Amino acid sequence: MKLRYLLIAVAALVLQAPASEGKRWWSHIEFLADDALEGRNVGSAAFEKAATYVEGQFKDIGLRPGGVSGYRQPVKFESRVLVPEQSKLALLRSGVEEPLTLREDALLSARGELDGSVEAPMVFVGYGLSIPEAKWDELAGLDLHGKIAVYVNTTAPVEVSDNVKSHVTSAGERWAVLKKAGAIGVATFPNPRPPAGTTPDAASAGAASGRGGAQSPQPTVVLADRELQEQSGQTVSITATRRGAEKLLAGSGHTIDELEQLIVDRKPLPRFPLVGTLRVQEAVKRETVNSENVIGIYEGSDQQLKNEYVVMSAHLDHVGIGRAVNGDSIYNGAMDDASGVASAIEIARLLKESGAKPKRSILFMAQTAEEKGLLGSRYFTSRPTVPFDKLVADINLDMFLPLYPLKVIEVQGLTESSLGESVRAAAKELGVDVQTDREPEQNRFIRSDQYSFIRRGIPSLAFKFGYEFGSPEEKTRRDWVRDVYHKPNDDLKQPVDIEAAAKFNRVILGLLQRVANDTARPRWNDTSFFKRFAKPDLH
């Protein structure tokens, strides 16, 4: 009996996170989300402080530098700000110029490459989607060469999985399809039925409206490397208001009321040319911005497998200083995503302290510019600091929300790859359940840095604290998304369950070790939509 108790006690010691782990985890957030760090905007001196902090931690722990220069992988960006006084939009019809008012009729995004002027015809292309698996192609038979494609910024009424919908409606994929059809730019009409509880999308909403909901435009930030620019070839990028849409539709035989009704009724939309041409004049102020991903490696022990890498990633940037809410203008980003970076640091430390010898290496990365559209991770997966075909998985932590005790982990990507079984087993060891995404319509699997890995064929997972429908936990999480997400009060004053976070870290530690020790590298499930991105020779 005694021996049994002793064994149980030892097992509990190994598996359970002592209170000190939670405190240590929180201490990193206290540094990274302090007002002094000014919301860690890309390119700011405060971001550099954050990078130096993480670098110091990685060094302390004894991780091997995994960057290009020590722990750092420099990433160059171009920041673009529209000069409104020198920018204008007008419709040209039968030789008559009809000016459109910026803001009231349309927003002009510096995401477009134009610096000067252009005049182009416009074609309304409905939802603007081509989804082969649904035999849905709104671009079939249309000539978009030299034209601006006008579409409603929402998903089409087709029966496909949420993953397919998420993928095809992402800004990058949408543009890839339109560009192939010859388009030189895009103009969007507003979605008359935004899904309830929608939160802004890093890639699209930020570009149009600026962070914090204010109209004062935040710069558009793109990777300086043209080869890696998703929107390359997109001369103009316009977001029409409802009033602007009415003006663009005038004379076409169609009205915004008609289109909105079709969308609400989930019907296909007509496709037709708009009358006249659009004249766009755009002046943009460009600047180079330097930032970096911070990378440390925990070396594997197996002669062969140590050359393969399991990536543990979390984004270091947040949105900086913005519009004041209740007198506070610092968007601290404590949960988004100082919490994930803190976990990555702590998990690396636990690994080291335990003396674990995983077979594969584990690459810890605190990446930049997630908030600008997953750019730091895009850069890393395109210009990796280790051989690309040796990246076996990405375990990404972004705002996992430890707001209540941990009973169940929501896993984004649970049913997509063999990583699902690995996380299930790791969670079970600590008495934690797993569940699939509670809100698949939010497209979370493709809305953080893991998507950069997924698009390049690498199996990935992301997480949130889970809940049962109708539970108090569901309310806590929904309230947080509504009241705290991307607001100045995502700061150090909010209630966080530090012990639950430490337990979560232990689960992720177990997951990393499983993936690092498994003889087979992770594979996409045959049923997964994302399997198509994997290179066949690797899997």
Contacts to Zn ion by CB under 5 A: 336-337, 398-399
Least Å distance between CB 334 and Zn ion? 11
Q: β-strands 320-325, 408-412: how paired?
A: unpaired
Cβ closer to Zn ion: 197 or 251?
Answer: 197
Distance CA 310, CA 197 (A): 34
Q: Are 137 and 130 in contact (CB under 8 A)?
A: yes
The β-bridge relationship of strands 284-298 and 64-65 is antiparallel
* Residue closer to Zn ion, measured from CB, 131 or 335: 335
446: Cβ–Cβ under 8 A, 6 or more apart, which residues? 163, 166, 167, 170, 454
CB of 380 to Zn ion, least distance (A): 16
Tokens representing 523 are 């594979």
Pick the closer one to Zn ion by CB: 346 or 398: 398
Q: Which residue has the tokens 């968007």?
A: 331
CA dihedral 382, 72, 511, 427 (to 10 degrees): -110
Q: Nearer to Zn ion by C-beta: 449 or 518?
A: 449
Structure tokens at 403: 């707001």
Q: What is the DSSP string of 388-404?
A: GGGEEEEEE-S-----S
Q: How far is the CB of 321 from Zn ion (least distance, A)?
A: 17
| Chain length of the chain | 539
Q: Which residue lies nearer to Zn ion by CB, 361 or 412?
A: 412
The one-letter amino acid at 251: G
Cβ proximity to Zn ion: between 126 and 333 the closer is 333
* Closest distance of CB 416 from Zn ion, Å: 20
354: tokens are 């335990």
Neighbours of 483 (CB within 10 A): 11
Question: Minimum distance between the CB of residue 170 and Zn ion, rounded to whole angstroms?
Answer: 16
User: Among residues 55 and 398, whose Cβ is nearest to Zn ion?
Assistant: 398
| Cα–Cα distances in angstroms (integers) from residue 449 to residues 337, 354, 496, in the given order | 11, 28, 24
Residues 125, 126, 129, CA angle at the centre, nearest 5°? Answer: 80
Beta carbon nearer to Zn ion, 38 or 337: 337
Nearer to Zn ion, 279 or 464 (CB): 464
Q: Are 398 and 335 in contact (CB under 8 A)?
A: no
Token reading at 464: 């949130």
**Residue 111 main-chain phi, psi, to 5 deg:** -60, -35
Nearer to Zn ion, 206 or 384 (CB): 206
CB of 329 to Zn ion, least distance (A): 19
Query: What's the DSSP call for residue 338?
Result: I
Alpha helices in 396-497 (DSSP H): 419-429, 450-454, 472-483
Work out the end-to-end distance of the chain between its first and last CA atoms, rounded to an integer number of angstroms.
48
Min separation Cβ 505 and Zn ion, Å: 17
Is 56:536 a contact under the CB 8 Å cutoff? Answer: no
β-sheet bridge partners, residue 396 = 313, 462
CB of 448 to Zn ion, least distance (A): 6
- Residue whose CB is less far from Zn ion, 156 or 403: 403
d(CA 278, CA 120): 5
d(CA 72, CA 295): 6
CA 114 to chain centroid: 26
Q: How far is the CB of 8 from Zn ion (least distance, A)?
A: 38
CB of 340 to Zn ion, least distance (A): 7
Residue 310 bridge partners (DSSP): 362, 393
Cβ proximity to Zn ion: between 40 and 306 the closer is: 40
Nearest approach, Cβ of residue 40 and Zn ion (Å):
11
Give 172 or 376: the residue with its C-beta nearer to Zn ion.
376
Q: For residues 35 and 47, what is the distance between their CA atoms, to the nearest angstrom?
A: 12
Q: Which is nearer to Zn ion, 130 or 460 (CB)?
A: 460
Q: How far is the CB of 529 from Zn ion (least distance, A)?
A: 23
Q: How far is the CB of 397 from Zn ion (least distance, A)?
A: 9
Among positive and negative, which fits the CA dihedral 517, 522, 525, 526?
negative
Could you tell me the smallest distance in angstroms from the CB atom of residue 398 to Zn ion? 4
